[in-house]
Structure 1
Amino acid sequence: MDASAYLPVRTWLRPGVVTAGQGLLIALLSLGTNVALFVLSVVALALIPVFGVGIVLFPVVTVGVRYSAGLHRRLARWVGVTLATPYLPAPDGAQFGTWRRFRWVVSDPATWRDLAWMLLGTFTGAICLAPLALPAYGLEGLIGLPLVLHTAGVDYGYGPFWPIDNTAQALLCFPIGALLVAGGLVVARWPIRLHVTVAGFFLPPTREAELALRVRQLTVTRAETVDAQAAELRRIERDLHDGAQARLVALSMSIGLAEQLVRDDPEAVRRLLAEARETSGQALAELRGLVRGIHPPVLAERGLPGAVRALALAVPLPVDVTVDLPGRPAAPVESAAYFAVAEALANVGKHSGATRAWVELRYAAGRLTLVVGDDGRGGAASTADGGLAGTGRRLAAFDGTMTVTSPAGGPTVISMELPCALSSPKTSPSSGTG
């Protein structure tokens, strides 16, 4: 039989088996970790009057509670749900064992929402056993266990359906088992969706907390943006002072000296004018380089795809460039994306030891995604004073994010996202190789 005939079976069987395993993991975490942490939290609160033991113990237990809740937030991504982290930042001096730490923990509404989730999530997590329990229950009938035992003369009741009194009843267990296995795998995702739906009521931040977190994030990014702009202005001022300005001063002095010698020493005047011409050319080149550092002309002329391909050509190794942009983002966003890719490619050329690299530009769901990767030695990190940290701050000014994945031995993949809208739609995506 053609293998394609089995495609409908594989279509539901493989995802069902995977989801059943996911449900087992969620059930184990819920029935084990959640119950233990909830009991410990209750005990810690009860010990507050006992010489303040709970004041020390409750924040410690809360660390485990928040870690467990964070794990369930990550597991929610299995069904395509993203749950944000709701916790308030710790104040200065909130060390373990201090009253400040305890007050910070108990005053955070997310602490009590986590505890409520621990209690209710235990029940919804137990339901996630169904995708595994039903197929396991039906599997014994499917493999003929009731028939084997009946043939051997062993009394065996197949679950709640009927006692096995004859061979016909034992044979009937085959289709019943098949239905249980298939049904359990088909509906495997539903209990997990129920679990995640309930988690969505407790684990994300409330509307008020979300606004407060947003305000703090904007405050931080604004301060970083102001610092970055100030540093950029100082760089421009330094480049002008040390480069073009110094050459223009030298040019002015050469012309002034030529004016004094124009009658007495024409040969010296010619030499001075030649030096002045060379100096003016150098000053012009430095001014052009400075302008390119502010907003590259290639970006304005050819857009982000063309500018990125130009960057790829300047890297001393093959760089594959793939672009899927149905339009152009706003100029500030385009500039931030360009310099982010430029910094990443510069690191590839200087530090990676790679033999090839790749750049991907994509746009979907209102987000511009930039991926820069290489097959080098890995080990890249975003240090506080490094170029990647500066790239992260540049993207943060537009609510962008950056993730660096670079295990030892490679590969290194830098993923960046920028929320934005596009204009000037194109008819088809394009790709190329630099």
Structure 2
Amino acid sequence: MSGAAHGRLATMTAPSPAAGRTDSTDGRDGHDGTGVRDRHDGLDLLPPPRPAYDAHTRKEIAYLLLNLPVAVFGFAYAFTVLVAGGILSLTVIGLPLLALCLLGARQLGKLERARARKLLGVRVEEPTPLPLSRGGGPVQRLWLALKDPVGWRTLLYDAIRLPWGVVTFCTVLTSLFVLWPVLPYLARFLANADRAMVRGLLSPSDELERRIAELESDRGIVVDTAAADLRRIERDLHDGAQARLVNLAMGLGLAKEKLLEDPDTAASMVAEAHGEVKLALQELRDLARGIHPAVLTDRGLDAALSSVASRCTVPVTVTVDLPARPAPAIEGIAYFTVSELLQNISKHSRARTASVDVWRADDRLLVQVRDDGRGGARLDAGSGMRGLADRLGAVDGLFVVDSPDGGPTVVTAELPWRDRQE
């Protein structure tokens, strides 16, 4: 499997509680790059000895002096968003405008984290982006943005910063002329309070919040996909088998009327109707195969993928190495993923050969489809790749496309392994 696909399985190692010290943010033995011990609460009243006005102290003073103009802008933004959003929420543009402003608040938080990182040495991880591009309707994306905890915490941060900005600006400015000898210690105390606020309000949402947002987005994708599938089935029935059966009924009715007066014509019409019945049955079989093929239910992925590979216009080698059959839902997603990819190979790849490999690795089911075609496949190229990625993402799967121009194309799908309940 490609390195991109394995990246999602990486885990972050947490420090042992027994270590007796907190993490370093820049690798300097528990210090945050300012000479301050990076304690959990972000406060340290008595810093270790260091030159009174070294580079770190000057950066802290600069940060504190910038607090006022930054806080004024942030407060004005937060106040405008809350007031305007509250008033306009009664109109059709209110909620979309509020959602847009919350996305803007995320960007303000990003700038504040960058300022704290540059001047205070505070390294706070960037929050996970909202999954707005993973599908779902506009209403769902709007609701997801309105519930964004990162945006709301940033607005809270901006709202409470104005009085603090006034205090720090005036204190430091006055101390520059009055309390020069103790200013480094005073700046350290005030800067540590800023560090605590940045960590407390501008740090990423916890994993649970991110996971809830992803699951809500995935639920919308599943609902939309199911609705689209139902519309496709209805359209195929209406335009295909249903239309043929209507024509068949009319033809048999005419044949019945001519049965006594013109038996030869009636026999010809019955023969034609017999051909229509065969076509209608074939269309119904194709439709049933598109919903869930019987061979997949009866014989599993190996037989089902071999069957779909036999209909591909490119010679396909299928290798399935599974110790057991996965859950029907996972099996079905794997089947339809391969089916869609083989259709793309037939229509777009200009390949000479292709291969399908399916295997299990730990608690994941992996599917890899290769072809030696012209390459250039993209998730946003309109070939159905985006829909496949969304469908796999809805079940905590992964979809990776490696398709340089000129080929070859390697598509890797990763699904969670769930045991089949017999």
Alpha-carbon RMSD across the aligned residues, in angstroms, is 4.1
Deviations 1:182-241 (A, max 9, x none): xxxxxxxxxxxxxxxxxxxx9xxx997222212111111111111111111111111111
> Which range moves more in the overlay, 374-383 or 349-358?
349-358
Alignment-derived partner of residue 48 in structure 1 = 67
Alignment-derived partner of residue 217 in structure 1 = 214
5 Å-filtered alignment, 1:170-189, equals none
> Contact 1:59 / 1:105 at 8 angstroms: preserved in 2?
no
5 Å-filtered alignment, 1:4-23, equals none
Alignment-derived partner of residue 260 in structure 1 = 257
> Which range moves more in the overlay, 350-359 or 240-249?
350-359
Alignment-derived partner of residue 194 in structure 2 = none
Alignment-derived partner of residue 225 in structure 2 = 228
Deviations 1:140-170 (A, max 9, x none): xxxxxxxxxxxxxxxxxxxxxxxxxxxxxxx
In structure 2, the CA distance between the partners of 1:261 and 1:291, relative to structure 1 (3 Å rule), is same
Alignment-derived partner of residue 110 in structure 2 = 59
> Contact 1:248 / 1:283 at 8 angstroms: preserved in 2?
yes
Q: CA deviation at 1:340?
A: 0.3
Describe the SS at the equivalent of 1:398. coil
Name the amino acid aligned to 1:379: G
Alignment-derived partner of residue 117 in structure 1 = none
Alignment-derived partner of residue 87 in structure 1 = 128
> Contact 2:376 / 2:403 at 8 angstroms: preserved in 1?
yes
- d(CA) in 2 for partners of 1:267, 1:331: 52
Q: CA deviation at 1:386?
A: 3.7
In structure 2, the CA distance between the partners of 1:386 and 1:220, relative to structure 1 (3 Å rule), is farther
Alignment-derived partner of residue 402 in structure 1 = 399
5 Å-filtered alignment, 1:233-382, equals 233-382=230-379
Q: CA deviation at 1:275?
A: 1.2
Richer in helix (by share): 1
In structure 2, the CA distance between the partners of 1:208 and 1:410, relative to structure 1 (3 Å rule), is same
Describe the SS at the equivalent of 1:327. coil
Alignment-derived partner of residue 417 in structure 2 = 420
Name the amino acid aligned to 1:373: R
> Contact 1:48 / 1:54 at 8 angstroms: preserved in 2?
no
> Which range moves more in the overlay, 53-62 or 317-326?
53-62
Name the amino acid aligned to 1:47: L
Alignment-derived partner of residue 383 in structure 1 = 380
Q: CA deviation at 1:291?
A: 0.4
Deviations 1:327-369 (A, max 9, x none): 0011121111001011112222222233332222111221111
> Contact 1:59 / 1:102 at 8 angstroms: preserved in 2?
no
Q: Work out the number of aligned pairs and report it.
A: 279
Deviations 1:99-133 (A, max 9, x none): x79925959xxxxxxxxxxxxxxxxxxxxxxxxxx
Deviations 1:31-89 (A, max 9, x none): 8xx959x97899556512136488598733636999xxxxx99xxxxxxxxxx985363
Q: CA deviation at 1:396?
A: 2.5
Q: Which runs of 5+ in 1 are unaligned?
A: 1-26, 67-71, 74-83, 95-99, 108-201, 426-434
In structure 2, the CA distance between the partners of 1:57 and 1:346, relative to structure 1 (3 Å rule), is closer
Alignment-derived partner of residue 189 in structure 1 = none
- d(CA) in 2 for partners of 1:237, 1:351: 27
In structure 2, the CA distance between the partners of 1:49 and 1:245, relative to structure 1 (3 Å rule), is same
> Contact 1:405 / 1:413 at 8 angstroms: preserved in 2?
yes
Name the amino acid aligned to 1:229: A
- d(CA) in 1 for partners of 2:409, 2:252: 53
Name the amino acid aligned to 2:69: V
> Contact 1:44 / 1:57 at 8 angstroms: preserved in 2?
no
Alignment-derived partner of residue 77 in structure 1 = none
- d(CA) in 2 for partners of 1:415, 1:269: 56
Alignment-derived partner of residue 118 in structure 1 = none
Alignment-derived partner of residue 103 in structure 1 = 154
In structure 2, the CA distance between the partners of 1:208 and 1:103, relative to structure 1 (3 Å rule), is closer
In structure 2, the CA distance between the partners of 1:252 and 1:43, relative to structure 1 (3 Å rule), is farther
- d(CA) in 2 for partners of 1:366, 1:58: 37
Describe the SS at the equivalent of 1:421. coil
> Contact 2:255 / 2:270 at 8 angstroms: preserved in 1?
yes
> Contact 2:330 / 2:418 at 8 angstroms: preserved in 1?
no
Relative to the length of structure 2, the TM-score reads: 0.57
Indicate the percent of aligned positions where both proteins have the same amino acid.
Answer: 42
